[in-house]
Every structure is written in structure tokens, then in C-alpha cells.
Chains A and B, each alone.
Chain A
Amino acid sequence: MKKSINIGRIGRLIKKDLSENLRKIVVIVSTMIITTIAVWLLTVILKGDSATGASERLNFISTLTSVSLFITPFILYGFINHKLHGVNYSMLPATVLEKLISMLIVGSVIVPLVIYCGAMITDTILALVTPSVYKGYTFATSENIFNTSSSFVKVAGTFTLITSTAIYGNLLFRKNKMLMTILSVIGINMLLMVVLIILIKSGLDLSEWAKNYTVNNGGQVVITMGKSSGFFVDVNRTVNIIFFILIPSALYTASYFRLKRIRF
């Protein structure tokens, strides 16, 4: 059986990608950290003495990480299907799976993790320096993704969806990749909404499903499972499976074949 994965080669690919993209990585990480500092500066100017809580800041850092998850594959691997720049990478002796895995590790794990940690450290320093502006520490909040397994799964699922979309968009489009991917996602979402509206108008009763959703005092929609029976009890789980497992798996598979059949 032909070996499609060699750990040593994946390591060499990661080393090569990090080394050749070091400047780009530094720029992405610096931009994200500067954004964190800029937001703090704006808070100081606009809010004055009223403090910003750790949970709000954590939400901001999570958004920042999500953005970096989306943009990093385009910035680091945008050349991959370019008729001129992609040739060298394609001719590199490694399997498609190894290349995809290394791309995933660098673009979707290492760089976003550095950004997340960098933003957390910056936030901690800013909270230490100005406790009246930044109250509490983001790493110590209960909403921290590493504190509870359920939120970790949810965050990991969202991150996987973002990453797989970015990687596939990067391989699917040759020009204006990021814009085309965003427009495609918006288009697909609109299409899904139209389908849902048609389903509702054609007599689909969502009232049972709606019982699962209540609005708490903070204005957030929370899911309270088990109040109703039948198909709609599992609908949330089904949606999670579709969006966090099935769609990312399909996108990764499509990316694999796209990379395998790329032409120059």
C-alpha cells in the first residue's frame, strides 16, 4: 500500500511553510495585537472610568481569532492554485494529504493559536496596567473556551467550519479569493433562508421547535432542550452535526480533490 502520510514530511512541510511565510505571519499577528491595543485605547477615550468586563473582551478576542482563522489560509496559501506561483509547491515531493494537513496545522492551528494567545497576553497586560478600564482577566472567566467542554466543542465546531470554508475557498477561486468566498457563503445562506421560508409557508410547523428557545435576561437566546417531543427536539443537534461535522468534512474532502487535481 502506498504511503499517503509520512509524519516526517509533514514536519518538513510545516517547517518550510513557517520559514517561508515568517514575515506574513508576523504581519498578521502584529495586526491582530495592534487591533487589541487600539480597541483598549478607544475604550479608554470613549468609556472613561466605566470598566469593560472580561467576558466582553473575551468575545472580542474570539471574534479576532475567528477572523484570523478565515484570512490566514488566503494570506499564507493564496498562491497555491496560481499558474505561476503554485508550480513549485505542487512539484514538492509530498502527498496531497500531507500538504493539506500541513496547511491546516499552520493556517488553522499555529497562526490562530499564536494570535489568540498574543491577544490574551496583551489583554492581561492591559488589564494589569489599567484595572479601572479593563476589569477582570479574560483567562479566568467562566466563558473561556478552555474552561468547559461544551463551549469548547461549540467553539471548536465553529472554528472548523470557518477553517474548512477558507481552505476550500482558497482552492476553489483563482482571483479575489477572499471576497468570492465571502460572497459565496452569503449566497448559500440566503438560499438556505429562502428554502426555509418556502418550507414554513408551505405549512411546516416550527412552533414546537420554538419552544426549545427562550430569551434570558441578558438578551441572549439560550437552548433549553427536552421541553417538547418529536423531531424538533433533535433539530439543534442535527444542525450542529450538519454545520460542525458534515459540512466541514465535505469541504475538507472537496479541498483534497481540488488540490489533487489542480492544473497549471
Chain B
Amino acid sequence: MQGLLSFDQAPPFTAPLRFFLSAPVFALLAGLILVWDGPSLLASRWTPGALAVTHLLTVGFMLQAMLGALIQVLPVVAGVNLAQPLAISRWLHVALSGGAVLLSSGFYFASASLLITGGIVLGVSVLGFLVVVVPPLSRTPSTSPTIRGLKMAMSGLFGVAALGVVLALAVANGWSIPLLSLTDLHASWGFAAWGGILLAAMAYVVVPMFQLTPGYPARLSWWYPGLLLAGVVLASLSVWFEVPGIGQLAQGMLSFLGIAFCAFTMHLQLKRRRARADTTFRYWQLGLACTIFALFLSLTATFWPALAEYNELPLLLGVLLIVGGFVPLIVGMLYKIIPFLAWLHLQNLGGGKLPAPAMHKILGEKEMNGQMGSHALALVFLLGAVLLPELARVAGLLFVMANLLLLWNLSRASWRYRQQSKLMREQLAQL
């Protein structure tokens, strides 16, 4: 019931849009750091530059886009209405952006005070989001695998943020805790329990919706988020009780589950019934292929110690999962969500008296395709740079370019929306 009415109560466009527009800025900053530092950044996953870039992308880009999208999507898919979506978006956006900059600066300049401040600001932002979202979400009955997945993703978000805060404080204060295994665990919570579950829950809805594919099988999609969460909990127990064997098993299980999900989604997408392969479809194929490749490497490394000890492996996995996997999947969705929301809000503004421009007038296929090509090129060079660090600066430049284009595309869509709504208001006033 709530969900039905929520169509009217969709949050104002500026609530999610601010997150979407600032996400590329953080990716842009990450690219600039790579250009500035050059090959030395890629010496290991622990260099100050690599840590800063990782968090600019995961917090500044990914988390930003994910939470912004949730504010929009929760009323539609779960019937969860937030009391003050615009007010929540405002403070969350400022806090997340500030936290991402502080934390990344803390890593980059090896500053304990910046690390602590950044960690705490981000911890408080995530906690604030959870305090607002979890009570209404938990009151919603789990009538679909998506709602159930969203609930589980919230525990994943709590886990990754809590571990992140502990790690930031530990590094800053020199606490003696097992940094290596806790960092790996932090990544598992982030990629599997938060990102993976959220992605699956959203894919159940958007893959059939955008591409007219058959749906995911009901029973599998019901159990999948729980299996991911169980894998991450198992990995956590192995760290807590210091039983690395179980940790390896859990990592293997998570990689396998991820591969299975991506492969199945690709299979569904091949059965799509739309007239053409659009940018979103291509971005998803890229994202799914890279994730499968990353998880295949990770799975192989679990059983083949020589690969696990390969120094470049973590960087390779990071580039594949983030720049090759999550970012393309997210941008692919943004390229549908932003034009659709623009159309929807304009349509509501016109109130049946004035027509609203369809999605392709807000953001054209050519603009999106060009940006995707530039992202794919940057990805190839980034992967190359992990193996041949001399390519680092070129890769960084190409990545900056791809994100400038993304920022340009999204800003232009937002500008066209504003122009059009101004025009329509004037026309309505004259009616």
C-alpha cells in the first residue's frame, strides 16, 4: 500500500542527483593522483597513493552512488518512505564527501589526525544512514527477494564501515592488531556482504526491467543474499578464532558464488528482448565479465599458493573488481536511472497538460557510448599499468578523461532537465 502511494511521494530529483553528480568527481581525483604519483603508486596495494585512490573510488564513487540510489529506490521497490528525503540527502552527501576526502588525504599524507577524522566522519555518516533506513525497512515484510536482500545488505554496510573505522583508528594510533587479515576482511564485507548483496538485490529488479529478460529464479534469488552473508560471517569467524583454513574456504565460496551470479546474469541478458544492445547492456556485460575474471583469479589463488604470493595480484583484483566491475555496473544503471527520473519528474510537472521529453532527449545514446569507450580504454591501460608500471601516468590520464566525460554527460542531463522544467513552468503559468 505504502509502496503504491510512494509513486507520488518519490523524493525530489535533487535528493539522489547530488550523489550521482559528485561521484565522478572523486573518480577524477583518483585519476589525478595516479597521474601525479605515477608508477610508484602501483608498487603495492599498501602505498599511500594506492590506499587513497582505493578509498576515493570505493567511498567517494561507489558508496556515494549506492546510497544516493537507495534514497530514490527504497520507496519504489520496498515501499519504505523516508521522512525527510531531501534533508537526509543534504547532510549525508556533505558528510560522505567530506569523509571520503579526509580519509583519502589521511592515507595519502600519512596523517594520523586526518585518518582518524575521516574514519569517524564516515562511520557516523553510515551509522546515520542506517538509523534512518533500518527501522522502516525492518518493518516492511520481506515479500520479495529484493526486499530481503536490501535488509541483508544493510548488515553488510554496517560490517564494512565498522571494520573500516577500527582499521583507520588502528593504523593512526599504531594499535597492534592483525592488519593484513582485517583489511582482507574489510574488503570481503565491502565487496560481498555490502556491494555484492546490494547489487544482486537491485539486479533482480533492473535486469528484467531494463532489458526485458526473463526473471531470476525465485528460490535461488531468495537464498543468494543469505549465502553471501554466511560466507562473509564464516570468513570473519576464521579471523576471530585464527583458523586460516576456514577463511580460505569462505573466500573460495564467496568467489564461486560471485562467479555464479555474474554468469547467470550474463546468460539472462543474452535472452533480452530489446531491439538493440544499448550502453547499459554493454556496460553490464563489461562489468560482469571483469568481475568473473577477478573472482576466477581469486578462486585460483585460494588453491594455488604461487599465484596468491604474486605481488601484483591484489592490485590486479582491485582494478578488475572496482574499475572493471562495480564502476561499469553502477554507471550502466545511472545511465538509465537519471534520464528516467528526469522524464518522470518532468511528466509529473506537466501534469498531463504538457508533454515531457523522453529519455533520449535528456541523455543521448551516442554521448553515453562515447564515454563508455573511453572508460574501457582507461581500464585496459590500468590493467596494463599493474603489470608494466611505466604505463601508470597514461592510464591515469585516460581514467581522468573517462570521468570528465561521465561528469559532462551527467551534468548535461541535469542541465537539460533544469532548462526543461523552467520552460514548462513558464508555459504552465500562461495556461
A and B: bona fide binding partners: no
Residues of B bordering A, CB below 8 Å: none
Residues of A bordering B, CB below 8 Å: none
